Amino acid sequence: MNTLGKITFKHRKLVLIIWSLLFILSGIFALKLPSVLGGSGFEYDGSYKEVEKIMDEDFDIPASSLILLFEKSNDAAEHDFMAYIENTITHVKEVKDVEIQYSSPQIKDNRAFAILSFTNKDHMPENISNVRDRLEDEGSFSVGLTGRAVIEEDMNKAAQEDLVRAELIGIPIALIVLLQLFEV
């Protein structure tokens, strides 16, 4: 062990360069990791999976569907709410590859929803972004976008941002520790 220490000390600059290159390469590969990994890590067996299968097979609502959730305040008129929903759905229909599952939204109390699906499921992050760009709140009315693909996209985006933050902190600290260890 003493010999390894002497060799490492003798070639400390080379060791530092090798470790620095390894950290840089690790960072590059880590940035590509979210696009390589699939799914959100929250895949369940059991009733959730069964319901998803039934929705897809019996009701023709695929797992990649998105849900538009509309809400209105208590003082807003019902006909204005319907006009807002129809206007929003018209804007969303302009998105490439989008299909509205229900021609009329399902309404209960101060909420309504419409289900969207896409003919091209390979570009879900782009599809989600395009739909979000067309959603606007108006006074007493608001609309939100949810669904499995939206949640997965948000989780992947948050994980990628956290990874960048962790690398911005971790790599400089590791380099400082290495510099202190080798007294460079």
Q: Is 64 exposed, middle or buried (0-12, 13-18, 19+ CB in 10 A)?
A: middle
> If DSSP states are collapsed to H, E and C, what string results for 54-80?
HHHHCCCCCCCCEEEEEEECCCCCHHH
How does pLDDT run across 132-182, given as a tens digit for each residue? 898 989 889 999 998 878 888 888 888 889 988 998 999 999 989 888 888
Provide the 10 A C-beta neighbour count for residue 67. Answer: 16
How does pLDDT run across 45-64, given as a tens digit for each residue? 667 677 777 777 777 666 67
Q: Residue 17: what pLDDT?
A: 94
How does pLDDT run across 73-122, given as a tens digit for each residue? 989 888 899 899 989 988 888 888 777 766 566 788 889 888 888 777 77
Q: Apex CA 15: angle with CA 14 and CA 19, to 5°?
A: 120
163 vs 49, 168, 170, CA distance in Å? 30, 9, 10
